[in-house]
Structure 1
């Protein structure tokens, strides 16, 4: 047996045609509610840290646990969080609840349009939601020369185990978006039938075949001049900051000249995280070869017109285990899925995730 197939479509409106428009409009203009979070900092054994942004019943971003108004945290102003977590906050969260941990995409975080729409939808249903930021993506530079990458399954495992320790009575699910989805699927495939602190998982707009996706982003006109330029705008600045903090570890001149994600991964991502070059990184970090090993109920949602993920790279039924549900609607774009009358909304994606998680209870 292989993966199950969902043939239903995302009802993308006629006024928003094509994968590029659906991707860009959803990220820049589609309407969604705005969520404020309470931030927790997880100190790591290697001396670095990870920031998680939490929301849920009993947790008030604008008030302290005793009801007093939270002081203004200037350092948090550019982030999705309004204050830091206090020890007393944990007692205010429900001990027996449904909970979701979300792993963001490349250069994403709790302010990303998909994070905001998903967090608001699930919080309104009474869930606790934690947005787990990868290193350097929370609005604060991480402390090490390394950063984050698409195959970092130890990081996924440590975040899942931490969330379980914080709310051990919760029924945890996980969702990964784009890069975060690949890392989550890779973790699930490697874990196989081993102990996983989750009831179910979902991955959205996932580049499971990283070589194919890397070529599309690096070798096509829009990949190079639109999407790569967008991502490199912030990534280049972060790497130059690391060059200042770790002199001699990064080629500053080459960093300033980066034009594609292949160049980025050849120069920085691959050697900094134990790979020979971009192709070695893309090949070894891809989740596609591991989908047959997944034993946890898992939804994989990819629009077939995703401009960042070639349709030919998407898995078929035989490429994944029977624990997997493949949903590949014709329309939706990359982390888009805007629906409704103009100006549109982002409700379809969180509702799709919730519908899947409900069937797994």
Structure 2
């Protein structure tokens, strides 16, 4: 599809990408009531799902995926759930393995290209919850999972009507390089701390694989992916993981209406993360590149962020075709 012209106009103080990223990620608050459900995965692990519902019984649900080291209570997740609930759509917020407050059962956990858990949730929504319309929205890492899932070599259930990816590092190697740069140092340090803390918890269950001397060498996010993420999930190294898990290569195969919103001042994204060519050659792919927004920081006047409003508008756009 042609590249979409963005109408996003941030408040003046949020034109700065760093400010909007920090404010939306750390300072924003959203109140919502959620009910937790635990389901078993196909490999005998578990997933914790946090549900919220519309006032009236709905046949529609939006599945929401958080970003790196996030969880289902992060405001960028719950705000979308709340908005969709207010507009007649139930919401299920997925916690990636190990992100719900309890470590998962295995040495492996989650990564940017792991789509089987998302498929398990989709099947759960269809077979056990009887939803006839499913929308899927992912943020950052979660967005990469969504786009890869939609473009992989599988027959998608007809119940899936639309996909949305926000601030998506569709080229993981490029995004990893950006995160190593000085401009992103505060974010990289924060991510690394959370990841190392998770490994220290997992170390109790797998002491031989996660020795203290190993953890001390993980000075960067790429080193973490080289040591743990890649090896734990069957890749040779970080580059192999990035190459095979990047959603960019799967975008041409997407066959359901899918919206990507990546801000041009997102310091986490490399030039390859703006898939203009892929969008122009796929009638189902809609790419919007606002000048502002930082990383998941599309702050506008009021309680609803621009990317949340656009997600609702986008799925409504295709209701008549369902």
Aligned counterparts of 1:169 and 1:9: Cα–Cα separation in 2: 32
Deviations 1:296-346 (A, max 9, x none): 111111111111112453111445521111111111111110112xxx644
Counting only pairs closer than 5 Å after superposition, residues 314-333 of structure 1 correspond to structure 2 as 314-318=274-278, 321-333=282-294
Aligned counterparts of 1:150 and 1:139: Cα–Cα separation in 2: 20
Please say if 1:304 is aligned against 2:302. no
Aligned counterparts of 1:9 and 1:248: Cα–Cα separation in 2: 53
Q: Which residue of 2 aligns with 1:6?
A: 4
Q: Aligned with 1:15: secondary structure?
A: helix
Aligned counterparts of 2:22 and 2:274: Cα–Cα separation in 1: 21
Q: Aligned with 1:199: secondary structure?
A: strand
Contact 1:104/1:133, CA 8 A, preserved across alignment: yes
Contact 1:160/1:197, CA 8 A, preserved across alignment: no
- Per-residue deviation at 1:52? 0.4
Q: Which residue of 1 aligns with 2:224?
A: 264
Contact 2:150/2:156, CA 8 A, preserved across alignment: no
Q: Which of 93, 96, 99 is equivalent to 1:134?
A: 96
Aligned counterparts of 2:16 and 2:113: Cα–Cα separation in 1: 30
Counting only pairs closer than 5 Å after superposition, residues 152-231 of structure 1 correspond to structure 2 as 152-191=114-153, 194-195=156-157, 197-218=159-180, 220-223=181-184, 225-231=185-191
Q: How many residues align?
A: 318
Q: Aligned with 2:315: secondary structure?
A: helix
Please say if 1:360 is aligned against 2:318. yes
The two structures, once aligned, show a CA RMSD in angstroms of: 1.8
- Per-residue deviation at 1:194? 4.6
Runs of 4+ in 1 over 6 A off after TM superposition: none
- Per-residue deviation at 1:192? 6.2
Deviations 1:182-214 (A, max 9, x none): 011111111466545411111111000001001
Deviations 1:229-252 (A, max 9, x none): 111222111111111111212243
Contact 2:60/2:131, CA 8 A, preserved across alignment: no
> Which segment is superposed worse, 247-256 or 296-305?
247-256
Q: Where do 5+ consecutive residues of structure 1 fail to align?
A: 59-92
User: Rg bigger for which structure?
Assistant: 1
> Which segment is superposed worse, 98-107 or 186-195?
186-195
**TM-score normalised by structure 1 residue count:** 0.83
Q: Which of 63, 66, 76 is equivalent to 1:114?
A: 76
Q: Which of 39, 50, 58 is equivalent to 1:42?
A: 39
Aligned counterparts of 1:313 and 1:337: Cα–Cα separation in 2: 18
CA spacing shift, 1:186–1:45, aligned 2, 3 Å? closer
> Which segment is superposed worse, 186-195 or 346-355?
186-195
Contact 1:104/1:115, CA 8 A, preserved across alignment: yes
Contact 2:165/2:259, CA 8 A, preserved across alignment: yes
Q: Where do 5+ consecutive residues of structure 2 fail to align?
A: none
Contact 2:257/2:285, CA 8 A, preserved across alignment: yes
Q: Which of 26, 32, 56 is equivalent to 1:28?
A: 26
Q: Which of 184, 194, 212 is equivalent to 1:234?
A: 194
Aligned counterparts of 1:339 and 1:169: Cα–Cα separation in 2: 32
Contact 1:191/1:294, CA 8 A, preserved across alignment: no
